[in-house]
Amino acid sequence: MDPRLSIVASLLLSSAIGAIACSPSCAQGLGKPDAPIPKSVDAVDTVKVISAQAPYEYITPKQRVQWAMTETFGPESLLVGGWSAGIGTARDHPPEYGPHWEGFAKRYGIRFSGVATSNAMEAGLGALWGEDPRYVRNPLLPFKRRIDNVFLFSLMARNRHGQLMPAYARYIAIPGNNFLSNTWRVSSDATTRAALARTGYGIAGDICGNAWNEFWPDVKRRFAAQQRTCSDEGSRRHLFREV
C-alpha cells in the first residue's frame, strides 16, 4: 500500500476513534453554555477560540469572515506554510517546481491557495446550516480530557444554540479543496492519491492547531509567571545589595 495512503488511513481512523471515545465525556465537560467562567481560569476568547464555560454567543457574519481571514493570513498559518514549502523544496517534491527559491515560492503559493479555499468553503457552507467553526477551549477539564476535547472539536462543532453537531462544513472543505486544487496543480501532484494524502495532512494539521489553541495559553501564562518571579527575585537582590 502507498505510504501516503497509510498515513491518511491512520489519521482518519485515529481521529474517528478519538472522537467516538471522547464525545460523551467531553460533551459533559463542556457544561452549560451560559455557565460563568471562574476568575482564576485563563479564558482566552479570540477570533478562532471561545471558552466552553463562557456564555455562548453564536458567531456573527463579521466574526465568520474574521475567522476565515485569520485562519488564512494569521501568523500560525503563514509559518506552517513556510515550513511545509521548505520541506517540499528540500525533498524536491513535486519535482516540476525545482529545489530552489522559485520552487519554494511556488510550493508556498499552491499551499496558500488550498488553505484559502478550504477556509472559505468551511466558513461559507457552515453559515448555511449554523455551524460555528471556532474551537471551544475547556481549561477546567483534566489534562487527558482536554486531549479528548482537542479531538472532539476536530470533528464536531457548535450549532446556533451552542449544542454539539458534526462539523459537516469541515468534512466537505478539507477533502473538497484538496481535490479541487488538482485542477491547478502540476500533473505529478494532481492525482487522487496525492489529494487523499493532502486530506490526511489537513486533518492532522487541524488537530495540531486545536492542540495549540487548547494548551498554548497555559504555557504562555506559566512562562509569564516565571518571568515575573525572576524579575521580583532580581529586584530583591538589587535592593539587598543597596542596603
pLDDT (mean) for 209-220: 92
Sequence ranges of the domains in the chain: 3-237
Give me 182's grid cell: 488538482
Q: Is the dihedral of CA 167, 171, 177, 178 positive or negative?
A: positive
Exposed, middle or buried: residue 99 (CB in 10 Å: 0-12, 13-18, 19+)? middle
Q: With 50 as the cut, is the pLDDT of residue 19 above it?
A: no
Task: Please enumerate in sequence order all residues whose Cβ is within 8 A of that of 77, keeping only pairs 6 or more positions apart, or say none.
Answer: 71, 115
The more confident residue out of 11 and 183 is 183
For residue 51, give the 3-state DSSP assignment: strand
CA 236 to CA 173: how far, in whole Å?
56
CA 227 to CA 210: how far, in whole Å?
26
- pLDDT at position 170, please? 97
Instruction: Give residue 112's pLDDT band: very low, low, confident or very high (50, 70, 90).
Output: very high
| Predicted confidence (pLDDT) per residue in 152-168, tens digit | 999 999 999 999 999 99
CA 74 to CA 49: how far, in whole Å?
13
What is the CA angle 50-51-57, rounded to 5? 60
Report which of 141, 133, 163 is spatially closest to residue 26, judged by C-alpha positions.
141
Q: With 50 as the cut, is the pLDDT of residue 233 above it?
A: yes
Q: How far is CA 80 from CA 49, 104, 115, in A?
A: 19, 13, 11
- pLDDT at position 48, please? 93
- The lowest-confidence range among 49-58, 123-132, 229-238 is 229-238
| Predicted confidence (pLDDT) per residue in 37-92, tens digit | 444 445 556 899 999 988 999 999 999 999 999 999 999 899 999 999 999 999 99
Exposed, middle or buried: residue 187 (CB in 10 Å: 0-12, 13-18, 19+)? exposed
